[in-house]
Amino acid sequence: MEKKDMYDQIDRFLLDALERIEPPHGSKENTLILINVRLQRLRRNKLWSFVSLGLASFVALVYSTWFLIIEWKGMETSHYLKLIFTDTATVLENFYNWLLLMGESLPFTGLLMVISVSTILSIVVWKLDELMNTPEGIIFQELAKGGKA
């Protein structure tokens, strides 16, 4: 017997023998329930992490703002601004000192600001991505593309 003929026989046999298996009765409904439970758990976890991250970024923002205010006061910038209109000679004299003070505080305050702003931005982007996957978000995307919702 030719090898090709033999494989043709096996092909026919396997095509006949390997039919799709029917899932047991009720398994379809049960699996859907389990998927729903998992999705609800996932949504709850996402909500918790969103709330915790939002709270943490709020605390960071309050702290960095408070720190900036203290620094601002320490630098006596408001006093310096007043002097611009009253005593130009003193302004020029103090300008160098003011620049040094600003330079000294920049690394720390800058870092705090970057962390706060990037945390807030990442939350906004993440939340937007979430919202875009909701039915309203999909309608919004369609409208933005110029199509009909």
Partner 1 sequence: MMSNFIDIYNKYFKYVYSISYRMIGKHDDAMDVTQEVFFRVYKALSRIKDESTVKSYIYRITINESLRWLNKNKKFSLSEVSMEKEGMKNELISDELSPFEFTVSEEIKDRLNQILQNLPPNYRAIIVLYYQEGLKIAEIADYLKKPEGTIKVYLQRAKAIIKNKLQEGHK
- What residues make contact with partner 1 under the rule CB under 8 A? 1, 3, 6-7, 9-11, 13-24, 27-28, 30-32, 34-35, 38-39, 132-135, 138
Q: Is the dihedral of CA 62, 63, 66, 71 positive or negative?
A: negative
Nearest residue (CB) to partner 1, 27 versus 45: 27
| Alpha-carbon Rg for the chain in angstroms | 33
Nearest residue (CB) to partner 1, 38 versus 73: 38
Q: How far is the CB of 146 from partner 1 (least distance, A)?
A: 18
The number of residues making up the chain comes to 149
Q: How far is the CB of 10 from partner 1 (least distance, A)?
A: 5
CA–CA separation, 36 vs 30, rounded Å? Answer: 10
Q: How far is the CB of 48 from partner 1 (least distance, A)?
A: 18
CA–CA separation, 137 vs 134, rounded Å? Answer: 5
Element housing 134 (H / E): none
Nearest residue (CB) to partner 1, 92 versus 139: 139
